[in-house]
Structure 1
Amino acid sequence: MKTLTVNSVITTLQLWDTAGQEYRSITEQYYRKADAILAVYDITDSLSFTAVRGWMDSVKQYEALFYECSAKTGRNMDELMIHLA
């Protein structure tokens, strides 16, 4: 859970971590009512990037935005969370 205030409105985001390789076992019923899906990969690991393509194929009928963020440095994470809220 991540709670933030955007434009004086308090919003709580519920974030699920699917641990990457589990994407095949997650069906549309889990994300069909979601407001957003984050497809995350490791830019230094080509297998990680390739694996995320399965997610992208699953949700390609939805509009998508691309945010390049860093879990290591925190770069663009606040911007992403504010956009989600």
Structure 2
Amino acid sequence: DFQMKTLVVDSTAITLQLWDTAGQERFCSITEQYYRKADGILAVYDVTHGASFLALRGWLDSAFFHECSAKTGYNMEELMVHLA
């Protein structure tokens, strides 16, 4: 899935490209192509499924951690502003 989100931060419009590859290996080449040019990435996992967190180990060298919920929307806007 792919979406764009535009935010205004300090009176500057910033457009984020949000790619959801669902962790599928078949998107690996696409993922590498885009994150190489990215200013930031979001590594997302399911808190109710520990294996989904363990699968992120290869992505989390020195990642900023921001707790939020896609289900409830908790801290999502703050996360997008921080990323922008």
User: TM (normalized to structure 2)?
Assistant: 0.81
Larger strand proportion of the pair: 2
Of 4, 8, 15, the residue aligned with 1:5 is 8
Unaligned runs of 5+ in 1: none
> Deviating runs (4+, > 6 A) in structure 1?
none
Seen in structure 2, the aligned counterparts of structure 1 residues 14 and 24 have a Cα distance that, compared at 3 Å, is closer
Unaligned runs of 5+ in 2: none
1:19-30 equivalence runs, <5 A? 19-22=22-25, 25-26=28-29, 28-30=32-34
Larger helix proportion of the pair: 1
Question: In the alignment, which residue of structure 2 is the partner of 1:17?
Answer: 20
CA distance in 2, matches of 1:76, 1:23: 30
Structure 1 contact 21–51 (Cα < 8 Å) conserved: no
2:77 aligned with 1:75: no
> How many correspondences in the alignment?
80
Question: Shift in Å at residue 3 of structure 1?
Answer: 0.6
Seen in structure 2, the aligned counterparts of structure 1 residues 41 and 23 have a Cα distance that, compared at 3 Å, is farther
Q: Percent identity?
A: 70
Question: Shift in Å at residue 54 of structure 1?
Answer: 2.6
